[in-house]
Every structure is written in C-alpha cells, then in structure tokens.
Amino acid sequence: MSSTSPDPLSVPGPDLDLDALRASVRERWGLDGDLTALHGERDCNFRLDSGSTRHLLKVHNPADPEAVLDLQRSALDHMRAVAPELPVPGVVRTLDGRPWVPLTGRDGRVSLAWVHTWLAGRHPEPAELDDARLREWGRTSARLGRGLRGFAHPAATQPLVWDIKRLPQLRSWLPAVAPDRRAAIEAVLDRFDERVAPVLPRLRAQVVHNDLAPTNVLVDDDLALTGITDFGDMTHTALVCDLAVTVADLVSGRADGLDAAWEIVAGYDAVTPLEADERALVADLMAGRCAAAVLITAWRTREQGAAPEIDDEAYALLETLLSAGTDDLVVRRRAGRSTAALTAARASAFGEQELSYDQPLHLVRGDGVVLEAADGRRYLDAYNNVPVLGHSHPAVASAVGAQLATLNTNSRYLQDAPVELAERLLATLPDRFDRVLLVNSGSEANDLAWRIARHATGASGGIATAWAYHGVTEATYPFSPESWHGAPAPDHMRLVPPPLAGDLDIDGAISSLSASGHGVAAMLVDGVFTSDGVHGPAHAWTRAAAEAVHRAGGLYVADEVQAGHGRTGQHLWSFVAGDVPADLVTLGKPMGNGYPVAAVVGPAALVDPFVRGTDYFSTFGGSTAACAAALAVLRTIEDEGLVDNAGRVGARLLDALRQVATQRDDIAAVRGWGLALAVDVVDPATGQPSADRAGRIVEAMRESGVLIGRTGRDRASLKIRPPLVFADEHVDRLASAMTGVMPRS
C-alpha cells in the first residue's frame, strides 16, 4: 500500500515504560492512578483508575501522525454534537489545553498519547444477540453513518488497508496466504474486480466508522448500548462498505451467519434504506471484508515474523458465502421456517385461504420486476399490479422510512403530506373534481363511494359487470360477482355483460331496479374490466353506460384501483383517457406501491353534503406515512415516464403475444390495453374455453420462471399485469416462455 507515511501495519506498537507513562499522565493531565492494559491491535490502550474516576489512555502507533488523531477528535466532537443519543467518548485535554501530547518510548520512538472519557459496559458476545438485537445493531450502524453524513476531514482520504474498496490492492499479498486457502481468496478478488469495483464509484460515499464490531461496542447487562469506541479505522468510502464490515464482523463464527446477516441488514435498511446497487453488493463486500482479514493477517505473520495468525472465522464465513451464493453470491433474506413447515403453519392459522400455485411459492425478496424465492430462484413478475413502480422501489422505501422516523399520525392534524397529495391528485383530474377523501384500501374506497352515492341519490340499487370485482366489504361484495361462487345476485344488484361479451343492456338493468323500488344509486366500473377478462379500452361502452346511469338519476363510479396510475399507457386514469363523465373516482392498490393507501375523489357538491351529514372520518386513511408513499409513487411515475413506458411496452407485449398465438393451437385471442393483457386459452380439440388448460399453463410458466395469473368468468384467460417498469427484455423473456411452455398433463 502506497502512502506518504509509513505503513501502519508494518510498524510495531509503542514500547513503553509504565512508570514513565504514569508520570507523564500525572504531569500532563493531573491524573494519577493504576494502569490496566487493554487490547490494542497496533496501539497501546490502558484503563486509568484514579480514585473513583476512570479514563481511557490511548498511546498510538508511532506511524500515526497528528492528522490521524485530529480526524478522530473531530469525528468524536461532531458525533457528540449531531447525534448525542449515540454514546461516544470525549477527549480529555491536558492541563495546558492540548488534546494530545508526544511520548518517547524506551526505544526512542515517539508516539502520540491522549485521554478519553470512560464508557462503562462490556463487549457483547455474538451468541448473545438474538434476531431483535441483531436488527438493533443494524439500526445503530445506520444511525452512526447518518451522524457522520455531514462530516469531512482531509485525513479521511488517506489510504487504509481495511477499506474494502481497496481490496484489489491487496492481491500482491496472496502468496502469504496458506496454499489451501488461496483459491477461495483469489475467487473473491477476481469477482471483486469484475462486479464490485466498477460499481463502487457511483454509490453513496462518506466518512464511515468502518469497524462496528463487538470489540468496539459496549453494552450493559441488558445488552443495551452504552458505548461506541475505536474510531481508528475511519475512512471515506462507499457507505455500504460500512454496513458490510459491520455484518461480516458480527456474524463471523456464528452457525447461522447468513440468517443473522440479513437481520442486521434489515435493521440498517429500516433507518437508511439501501439503494438497489448497494443491496446487490452487500454479500460481495462481506466476502471482501473476510478476504481482507485473511490477507492482512497472513501478510503480517509473514512480514513481522510473528506466530501464525490466521483469521479462521473470517475464512469460514467467506467459504459459506461462496458456497451459498453459487453464481450470484447473494446473501438471501432469512427464509425462517422451511416451505413445508410454513405451508402447514399458514393452513393452521389462515384455514382454507387460497395460495397461488399447486406448489406454494415461498417468497423472501422483491426487486423491480423480479421476485426471489426462499430457495434462491428468481422469477419474472408479470402479474402483480400493486407494486406499480416495481418491488421495493427505493423512492417509496425512503419516503416511508423517513416519514415513519419523523411523524405518522391521522389527517385531522394540519400536515403537509395529505394536502400535497390531494392537490397532486386533483391536478391530474378534470376540473369538476375538487374533493379528496383518503382511506386505506380499494375496498374501503369503493365502500365509501357507494355510501356517497346512496346519500346523494336516496336510491339503493347498484349495477356492475357480470364478473367484476370491487372489494371485500359488506357493501362491495355485492358488486363483486367474481366472489359469489354461483350464488344469486343480491336483491339490490343488477349485472350487465362487459364489453365484447354482448350488447350493453344497461337500460334493462335500470328498469328492473326501478320496478323493484331500489332505483339506481350507482354503477361501479373497472375501466379495464380486469376480472371480466380484460376488455379495455371500451370508450364507447363506458361513455354510454355513464350516460344511461345519469339519465336514471344514479352516479357513475370509475373504479381506477386496477386500471389507474398509468396502467393503460394513455393517461394516469382510464376514464380520463376515454372521456367518460364519471361522478366519483376510486383509487387503491398501486397508490402506495404496496403501502396501504387509497382515495375517493369527487366534486364538492357530492362530497361535502355527505361529510356534513355523516361526520365522516377515517382515522388512518391519509396517515402521514401513507401520503408519503403515495406522493413518492406519483413523482416516480412522472419522473420515470412510466405512463409512456406502459403504453410502449404494452403495445410491444401485445404484438409479441399475438405472434405467440400464431404458433400455438390453444390460444384463441390476445387483447390488452397498456400493461393489462389477457390471453384466451381453449382446448385444441374442441375450441372451447379451457380453465383447466389455462391453469396448467400458469403452472408451467411458473416452472419456467415467469409469474402470470388467470381471469375471466370461466378462468380460461391468462392475466398479464406486471409492474409498470416492465421493459423490452422482459417482454422477450415472457414471450419466449409462453412459446415454449406446454401445459402439464
């Protein structure tokens, strides 16, 4: 390692005369007492007991210049000012006000010495740390990083061999490693050169502690944090390197190392959300830390002629990482119970609630359009519409995490987020909409819209399409014939065929409701007719339906829970794309990218009388964190151009699937609007819709690594409804899988 000063690893520690040291401490600091030697890798550390007062005396390696001590002093002062909740030592100045003094050892070499305040506690044993403690350790690491975020010092840029980003510079030390370990170390070095080094320069970087190991942390008898010590490995590097050091040092020697690792990462992520590139490198950087430990100890053993000092625990963890990750070297999130055990436990707790797929898919992680299972297999997600931005989008994770760490309460307090969200929503809608009611779910939104409609019209009759789904509440279940399982329609409900399934027969439904005394309160319409088999766009149909409902005195509710937030690729909202004169709009599912938030939007003439007449309020509809999530979604859709992406990629996917249909005899039709598509599956022998064959294709697609679903009254239509970040390469993979899979018999 090149440096303007001697390599600290090559310089022996101070050679001290304890009597002379005690005399110097008494003269310089006015402290007199017993010195007890403590562990120090390359420095000399002592506990100084002076009566009832205790201090820490540190005598640095002769290779350390004043700049190194000034870096640590400045960082300690900074931390005590900006993060007083984190216990770090203070610097005790000499009687003449100096932070440190030079001391001459018995061999004539000069070392810098200083005194710190004493932090009580003990070093925890890693085996004491359960999952909750590991997560708290991760949170502490993140808080320490946040405390140092604004800190800078020239000495922090000096080369440090323990900085993982400098791992490639240690390759020349490989001959010092035992022959039976060189191959593994070399594999980590090669992988680092290929996959890590090119990415590190574009990641977040700052000054970090770089050594939050158990030997540098103090706890009380209840394992509560009492001190963070040893800022001697501080350096300016990629932020995620600090996390990797923490994780690797804490889990080395644990039999459950990889499971424990992800508990620490989860705790860190809760305070400082990781970016996608950072998360992808955690395992490689952990392996890099382990490789550096082996290389450095082996080099020191060879160069300094010491007894063999091999970091066995670091090497064992490195081997575990290599064997667990195979090609991708990815530390998986803790899977907990086995898939079989979890399946049985779920059945016991949840009863007969349905799972997707014959063999349950045990998921542990999502990133963009990829879902990862407990066995490490990765799947292309072409089904889930809730994570409209893709799974684990950093913008949402960051917004929600920051808001939860600041404030999360109900919207009866004056706060920015709910108001800004309402304003942003209204700005995307026609001028007639000027009121927003925030709730928690799409079902709740549709339930509330139905209540508003009944309050405004005095009627009690509802209309929905023949196989629609609009929610799970007592009020929305009647609007969800998909869930009826053949039961007759409730007395106040009438169903009409969706587009393409027959002529619009809404006048008959209206007449029937009028004759029964219910009248027409509202018709709820999903603009892409997802559960009916995906039949959008159907602008003429939806406009005609709205006009007919209006003539009968009812309200048209545009249910944008599945159709909205840009899925159609033409506008944020499907009813706006079709110029449908909707009265109320309901939003849900994608609104928070997985965080529960939904809304009803309407005109003041409908909403205000309802609120006055019912004293309506939803305690956590519009909570601060929910609004932060929803705002992040709207901003990201705009910033990343996801509406246009849905239109372009959706059209490409539609063309690709139609090409697939020409090569198969079991596909009768392909249709879609943006990134909402359906593929009608038939029995090749009869040409009739085949739910059984469609189900087997879904299973076969899962086996090929692509997730899709089924829809439609006969469940014979494949449903393809991916996150809006779906790209051309995903289209190609899906189409290729659809071409090749054959339904299992």
Give residue-wise pLDDT tens across range 579-594: 999 999 999 999 999 9
Write out the E strands in 51-194: 53-59, 91-92, 101-104, 110-117
Contact 603, 437 (CB under 8 A): no
Structure tokens at 695: 């189900």
pLDDT at 307 over 70: no
Rounded to an integer, the average pLDDT of 419-447 is 97
Distance CA 247, CA 317 (A): 11
pLDDT at 325 over 80: no
Instruction: Determine phi and psi for 59, rounding to 5 degrees.
Output: -115, 115
Structural element, H or E, at residue 226? strand 225-228
Instruction: Determine phi and psi for 454, rounding to 5 degrees.
Output: -65, -40
Contact 108, 50 (CB under 8 A): no
Confidence tier at 90 by pLDDT (50, 70, 90): very high
Distance CA 728, CA 725 (A): 10
pLDDT at 424 over 80: yes
Q: What is the pLDDT of residues 207-247, one digit of tens each?
A: 999 999 999 999 999 999 999 998 989 999 999 999 999 99
> What percentage of residues in the chain have a pLDDT greater than 70?
95
Distance CA 229, CA 538 (A): 66
- Going 75 to 76 to 81 to 86, the CA torsion angle's sign is positive
Which range (391-400, 499-508, 668-677) has the least confidence?
499-508
Surface-to-core class of residue 362, CB atoms within 10 Å of its CB (0-12 exposed, 13-18 middle, 19+ buried): middle
Contact 148, 244 (CB under 8 A): no
Confidence tier at 7 by pLDDT (50, 70, 90): low
Instruction: Determine phi and psi for 217, rounding to 5 degrees.
Output: -130, 140
Distance CA 5, CA 11 (A): 11
Question: Hey, which residues does 207 pair with through a beta bridge?
Answer: 236
User: Residues near 635 by Cβ (< 8 Å), separated by ≥ 6?
Assistant: 395
pLDDT at 549: 98
Rounded to an integer, the average pLDDT of 618-636 is 95
Confidence tier at 406 by pLDDT (50, 70, 90): very high
The answer, yes or no, to whether the previous bond of 537 is cis (omega within 30 of 0) is yes
Q: Count of CB atoms within 10 A of residue 312's CB? A: 12
For 581-597, b where at least 16 C-beta lie within 10 A, e where not — what string?
Answer: ebbbbbbbbbbbbbbbb
Q: Count of CB atoms within 10 A of residue 117's CB? A: 16
Distance CA 443, CA 446 (A): 5
Write out the E strands in 555-714: 555-559, 584-587, 598-602, 667-673, 676-681, 706-707, 709-711
DSSP classification of residue 373? E
Three-state SS at 380: strand
Distance CA 464, CA 673 (A): 21
Contact 632, 395 (CB under 8 A): yes
Rounded to an integer, the average pLDDT of 365-383 is 90
Distance CA 394, CA 275 (A): 6
Q: What is the pLDDT of residues 435-494, one digit of tens each?
A: 999 999 999 999 999 999 999 999 999 999 999 999 999 999 999 999 998 899 999 999
Structure tokens at 739: 């071409």
Confidence tier at 52 by pLDDT (50, 70, 90): confident
pLDDT at 504 over 80: no
Contact 290, 317 (CB under 8 A): yes
Contact 578, 659 (CB under 8 A): no
DSSP classification of residue 223? -
End-to-end Cα spacing for the chain: 63
Distance CA 516, CA 524 (A): 20
Confidence tier at 335 by pLDDT (50, 70, 90): very low
C-alpha angle with apex 542: 537 to 548, nearest 5 degrees? 170
Q: How many helices (H) and strands (E) does the chain have?
A: 20, 25
The closest alpha carbon to 92, from 111, 119, 68, belongs to 119
Q: What is the pLDDT of residues 115-174, one digit of tens each?
A: 999 999 999 988 899 888 999 999 999 999 999 999 999 999 988 899 999 999 999 999
Distance CA 266, CA 272 (A): 10
Q: What is the average pLDDT value for the chain, to the nearest integer?
A: 91
- CA distance to 75, 543, 571, 659, 740, per residue, from 674 (Å): 53, 20, 10, 17, 24
The closest alpha carbon to 44, from 11, 67, 80, belongs to 11
pLDDT at 287 over 50: yes
Contact 371, 378 (CB under 8 A): yes
Pairing of strands 370-373, 378-381: antiparallel
pLDDT at 613 over 80: yes
Contact 471, 447 (CB under 8 A): yes
Q: What is the pLDDT of residues 698-731, one digit of tens each?
A: 999 999 999 999 999 999 999 999 999 999 999 9
Q: At how many degrees (to 10) do helices 179-191 and 312-325 cross? A: 50
Distance CA 100, CA 502 (A): 88
Three-state SS at 149: coil
Question: Hey, which residues does 522 pair with through a beta bridge?
Answer: 462, 555
Rounded to an integer, the average pLDDT of 271-289 is 89
Structural element, H or E, at residue 350? helix 339-350
Place of tokens 């090409």: 659
pLDDT at 4 over 80: no
Distance CA 17, CA 23 (A): 10
For 455-488, b where at least 16 C-beta lie within 10 A, e where not — what string?
Answer: bbbebbbbbbbbbbbbbebebbbbbbbbbeeeee
Three-state SS at 203: coil
Surface-to-core class of residue 611, CB atoms within 10 Å of its CB (0-12 exposed, 13-18 middle, 19+ buried): middle
Place of tokens 């305040």: 117
Which range (491-505, 566-580, 637-651) has the least confidence?
491-505
Going edge to edge, which strands form the sheet with 667-673? 667-673, 676-681, 717-720, 709-711
DSSP classification of residue 104? E
